[in-house]
């Protein structure tokens, strides 16, 4: 595998860590008591690294999470789609402004982000975030980067069960994601993760008993399928990486 491809896979895996933080946060909001398998506060916000030749990295991500809804006489899952933007510049420099699809990102600790505000649940946009349906348009001022890209890859909806028996191994299955270069599969539990990257048309990924052994046991694991495309070009003398990603996370997964 060449160096550039290695950079891209490593780069995408860090995007998944940010999405993992969000998914863990959602799961923990539903659980008030802390048992031995509680994930509350277990996943810190990671920094967002750049490929070694990058002057700017601009990431558009739609994260989909099914959430159970209880209604009289029935229970059903409603999928919540969260649109996010992440931007980082060489040396964690600050730009004058970073806008993704007409939404300005906020600069914190060297990284521009939009993340959900779970304290403001009465405002739908506080949870659903940036509208990433259709084209992806970046407008950055100083450095000046204007770029419109085609839409995100399709949603790689996970269809496999929510119980993992480590000794038997486990296969993540998912719907095919159109327009993806690769799909990064991940299982997160107890501050540990196992990940594998397969081609963009993949619809399943197998993890062996040996690979799952390090995850421990829990009822709050997360299964993810992450379809992504990474492109790069030189704009105004700056090497810019663009990431478009659709992620699907299943929470409250039991590992035994």
The domains of the chain are located at 3-255
Give the residue among 224, 97, 93, 215 at the shortest CA–CA distance from 155. Answer: 224
User: Quick check: 229 and 153 in contact, CB under 8 A?
Assistant: yes
d(CA 137, CA 110): 22
Other CB atoms within 10 A of residue 169 CB: 14
Tokens of 250: 């299943």
pLDDT range class, residue 114, cuts 50, 70, 90: confident
pLDDT range class, residue 170, cuts 50, 70, 90: very high
Reply yes or no on whether the pLDDT at 23 is more than 70: no
User: Quick check: 7 and 51 in contact, CB under 8 A?
Assistant: yes
Question: What integer pLDDT is reported at residue 52 of this predicted model?
Answer: 85
When the pLDDT of each residue in the chain is averaged and rounded to a whole number, the result is: 82
pTM: 0.80
Reply yes or no on whether the pLDDT at 256 is more than 80: yes
pLDDT range class, residue 51, cuts 50, 70, 90: confident
Span 157-178, average pLDDT: 97
Tokens of 23: 């998914």
Give the residue among 7, 14, 4, 1 at the shortest CA–CA distance from 247. Answer: 14
User: Quick check: 43 and 21 in contact, CB under 8 A?
Assistant: yes
Q: In the 3-class helix/strand/coil scheme, how is the chain assigned residue by residue? A: CCHHHHHHHHHHHHHHHHHHHHHHHHHHHCCCCCCCCCCCCCCCCCCCCCCCCCCEEEEEEEEEEEEEEEECCEEEEEEEEEEEEEEEEHHHCCCCEEEECCEECEEECCEEECCCCCCCCCCHHHHHECCCCCCEEEEEECCCEEEEECCCCCCCCECCCCEECHHHCEEEEECCCCCCCEEEEEEEECCEEEEEEEECCCCEEEECHHHHHHHCCEEEEEEEEEEEEEEEEEECCEEEEEEEEEEEEEEEEEEC
User: Quick check: 131 and 137 in contact, CB under 8 A?
Assistant: no
Reply yes or no on whether the pLDDT at 56 is more than 60: yes
């Amino acid at each position: 595998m060449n160096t550039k491809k290695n950079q891209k896979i490593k780069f995408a895996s860090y995007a998944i860590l940010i999405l993992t933080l969000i998914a863990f946060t959602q799961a923990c909001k539903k659980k008030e008591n802390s048992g031995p398998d509680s994930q509350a506060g277990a996943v810190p916000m990671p920094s967002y690294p750049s490929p070694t030749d990058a002057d700017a990295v601009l990431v558009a991500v739609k994260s989909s999470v099914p959430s159970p809804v209880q209604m009289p006489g029935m229970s059903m899952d409603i999928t919540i789609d969260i649109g996010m933007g992440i931007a980082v510049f060489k040396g964690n420099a600050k730009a004058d402004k970073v806008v993704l699809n007409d939404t300005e990102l906020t600069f914190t600790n060297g990284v521009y982000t939009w993340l959900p505000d779970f304290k403001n649940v009465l405002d739908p946009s506080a949870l659903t975030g940036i509208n990433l349906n259709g084209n992806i348009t970046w407008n950055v001022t100083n450095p000046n980067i204007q770029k419109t890209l085609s839409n995100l890859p399709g949603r790689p909806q996970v269809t496999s069960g929510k119980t993992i028996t480590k000794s038997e191994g486990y296969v993540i299955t998912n719907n095919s994601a159109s327009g993806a270069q690769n799909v990064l599969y991940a299982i997160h539990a107890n501050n540990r993760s196992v990940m594998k990257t397969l081609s963009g048309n993949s619809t399943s990924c197998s993890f062996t008993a040996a690979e799952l052994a390090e995850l421990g046991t829990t009822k709050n694991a997360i299964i993810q399928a992450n379809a992504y495309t990474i492109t790069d070009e030189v704009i105004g003398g700056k090497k810019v990486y663009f990431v478009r990603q659709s992620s699907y996370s299943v929470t409250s997964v039991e590992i035994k």
